[in-house]
Amino acid sequence: MLIRSLLALPALIGTFLSSGCAADGTPPAKSVHEFVLTANDGKPYPLAQHAGKVLLIVNTASKCGLTKQYAPLEQVWKQYQARGLVVIGIPSNDFLGQEPGTNEEIAAFCSTKFGVTFPLMAKVAVSGGDQAPLYRYLTQHSAKPGKITWNFNKFLVGPDGQVIDRFDARQDPGAPEVTAVIEKALGALK
């Protein structure tokens, strides 16, 4: 009986892990608001502080052909911040080492080169074995799952912490098709 139980153990573990539970047995998050990130300055940054607002979460990089998207991200932030949008930049060095700097260097670059004032987080892995828990949720358990394909993938999150939409890395954050979805989400806040 013990041997039969031990032989069945790998299958049970596989079933358990494929159910979405973490290796420690905790069930998967049900909302983006359950995550606490680390801000660029090293302080905890609970996403729950933005409950009731619309979030645009973007994995960023400073040495990428798409780095110029910092400018329209800042523009979108300034345009919609008063209405309840929060843009959150999350640097990652996962794609061809295009974010090699320290958190301090990243903040200085974003501020001086693009005038970024939206919240920047500490650098994390958005894919692979060291994938940050938020990105594991976004890519595996959200309403818009799928791999992070490159720098500047964008997730639009509703006031309830659920992913509303997702935009490809090459999609300009200020494009009408993106701002139309942002406008609709913000319209639901009234």
Catalytic residues: 64
Three-state SS sequence of 91-159 = ECCCCCCCCCCCHHHHHHHHHHHHCCCCCEECCCCCCCCCCCHHHHHHHHCCCCCCCCCCCCCEEEECC
Identify any residues that bridge with 88 across adjacent strands, giving them in sequence order.
Answer: 57
**Residue among 169, 115, 114, 137 nearest 32 (CA):** 137
Residue 28 gets which letter from DSSP?
A: P
Bridge pairing between strands 54-60 and 85-91: parallel
**Residue among 162, 172, 160, 173 nearest 138 (CA):** 162
> Backbone dihedral region of 120: left (phi > 0), alpha (psi from -120 to 50 degrees) or beta?
beta
Residue 163 gets which letter from DSSP?
A: E
